Amino acid sequence: MASVQVRYIVDDVDAAIAFYIGRLGFALVMHPAPAFAMLSRGDLRLVLSAPNAAGGGGQAMPDGTKPTPGGWNRFAIEVDDIDAMVATLRAAGARFRNDIVTGVGGKQILLEDPSGNPVELFQPLREEARLKPPA
């Protein structure tokens, strides 16, 4: 089971699936929507998202900035209660790029580190989207 998750914004999810499975030995975990897929290879889960106005990790930011390949790659930390964690972080002065959004696999938000690098906080809504089984 994966212990690390990385999201890549891609232009074509199907082409990316074919590349990662065919060329690099990844396995398909789920592909529930044209703009979204999860792959795995050992401890790595690779989440593929196409820019997508309908929501999820490929959704544009509130200022209209659209995710593009290469500029929105980030690692994700799975959380049990994203609403509570975001409230705690906001109270501590943390900066976020957006509000919590819901996609096909779960809820997410982009937190910025002190240098402005994105860290995704992710609360799965589907069992197969979990990084680890519940304790």
Q: Average pLDDT, whole number, for the chain?
A: 90
Per-residue pLDDT, averaged over 19-43, amounts to: 93
pLDDT digits (tens, 9 = 90+) for 46-83: 999 998 877 788 888 899 988 888 777 788 889 999 99
pLDDT of residue 135: 60
93-100 long-range contacts, CB within 8 A, separation 24+ = 97/61, 98/59, 98/61, 98/62, 99/62
Distance from the Cα of residue 51 to its chain's centroid: 12
Tokens of 25: 């030995």
What sign does the dihedral 38-128-72-36 (CA atoms) show?
A: positive
What's the confidence (pLDDT) of residue 101? Answer: 96
132: pLDDT strictly greater than 80: no
**For position 67, what pLDDT does the model report?**
83
Spatial separation of the C-alpha atoms in residues 39 and 23, rounded to whole Å: 13
CA end-to-end span of the chain = 14
pLDDT at 54: 78
Beta-bridged to residue 33, according to DSSP, are 36
Q: What percent of the chain has pLDDT over 90?
A: 61
